[in-house]
Structures are given as structure tokens and as C-alpha cells.
Amino acid sequence: MRKGEKADLILVLVWPIIASIISIILEELEVVNSNFFISIVLFLGLPAIYLSFRNRHFVIKSLIPAILICPVMIIIEYIGYYSLAWSFPSSIFPIEIFGVVIIEVIFWVFFNVYYVIIFYESFLDHHITYKLWNPKLKYFLIGILLLFSIFSFFVFNKINLNIPYFYLLFGLILFALPIGLQLINYSNTKKVIIKMLKASAYFFYLSFIYEIIALRYGWWSFPSSTYIGWLEIFGVRFPLEELIWWILLFAFAVMVYYEYFEDDEK
């Protein structure tokens, strides 16, 4: 490990526990009430910002995919809202995108993706690239523009976007498919996959703790009846899709996209 890297790793390993304790204290003392935004800052923002100061040469590389994912999240959240796939409390911000998507969700996906990549680069990949633009990114951008154009057409024409089992469907397309393709190419990307699995283990731990605290204090909920199943643990209940797509596979999927579109798959 590089100088100071072990101390950084210890800090981020204990941070979910610290963030949980702070959250419980704030909620129990009623300093805040179901504040989704504060949870994003505590669980994702602060450790991501810390690693950014410690590893400044990875910041721009991590920012690019985190910014690019935001319009995709607008689409997912809009459809998820009308499909009742999940629900968030009222926003602390006065603006909602398309009258539905709260600003907190954009912060949430930004810091989720940014934290995954800055963690991956800081502790596992250590790949400094001075050429930040990968030609493959243009295909990702074209895909986003095309997808957002189709979505905008649906929105402005008030076409019903209530999709049963939406959480399952979007996870299969956006997570399972790219991860499956990565695993098919296992012999050529074995070292990369091992690094991804190590990072995914940390984010499973972080996301699981975050989930339990979030559901306990109402930072989000799952009102739909169209899930493949439920898991009940530590007094909270959430759908199997949440366990599979966010807690288990989200970080791995982010790294798959990152390696293919922006990094070198080495």
C-alpha cells in the first residue's frame, strides 16, 4: 500500500458505522426529520470528498461518469415514481425536475457513482490517466442523448409510464446485462473482475447499513406490490430487487461501465 493508504482504508471502513451513529442521534433527538439529503452527505458525500483530497489525480476521472449518469437517473426516477417502484419523502429543495424528480435523487446517484469510482481507483486500480477522453465515451453520450430524447417525447406527450415490475426490468437491462457480458469475457479481464469484486464487497457493506438506517427513519420506502419478493431483517422490510440491484450489484455495474467506457479494462 502507498503511504497513508492503509489509514485511509481504515477510515472508510469504519465510516458507515460513524455515519449510522450520527444519523441515529440526529433522528432520535429530532434535529432532523427524515432528511434524505443529510443521509447522502453522511454516507456518501463526506467519504467521497475525503478520498478526493487524498487522491486528487483521480478526481476528474471519477467526475465524468458521475455527471453523465445524472440524466439517466432522471429517466429512471421519473418512471420509478409513476410505477411506485420506490418513494422518497418531500424534498428540501423548491424545484422538482419534470415536476417529479427531487434534487436529492440527483445528488444521491452522483455521489454513489463518484464514490464507487474514487474508491476503486484509490485502493485497487491506481490507474492515473492523463488522457481523460476515451473514444468509447462518445457511444455512451449518443446513447444517453437518444434515450433522453425518447423519454422527453413520452413526458411531453403525457404517455403513461407506469410499468409493472419496473425495478426488476431496469435492473436486468442496466445491471445484469453488462455484468453478464463482463463475466463472459472473464478470461481476458480476470484481474479487473477480482478488483471489482473487492470494491463491491465494501459497497455491499456500506449499502446494507445505509438501507437499514434509511428504512428505519423513512428516507425512502417501497409502496409497490409488483416485486419478485421481500426480505425482512433488523425490523425493516425491503424488496429483493433492492438487495440484488442496489446493495449487491450497483457498485459492480458502475465499475463495469467505467472500465469499458472510460478506463482500459486492465
Can you tell me the distance from the alpha carbon of 19 to that of 187, in angstroms, rounded to the nearest whole number? 39
Q: Are 211 and 247 in contact (CB under 8 A)?
A: yes
Q: What is the pLDDT along the chain (266 residues), one digit of tens a residue?
A: 666 788 999 999 999 999 999 999 988 887 666 688 999 999 999 999 999 999 888 898 899 899 999 999 999 999 999 999 999 988 889 999 998 999 999 999 999 999 999 999 999 877 666 566 667 788 888 989 999 999 999 889 888 889 999 999 999 999 999 899 888 876 667 888 899 999 999 999 999 999 999 999 999 999 988 999 999 999 999 999 999 999 999 999 999 999 888 766 66
Amino acid at 176: A
pLDDT digits (tens, 9 = 90+) for 180-193: 988 887 666 788 88
Rounded to two decimals, the pTM is 0.92
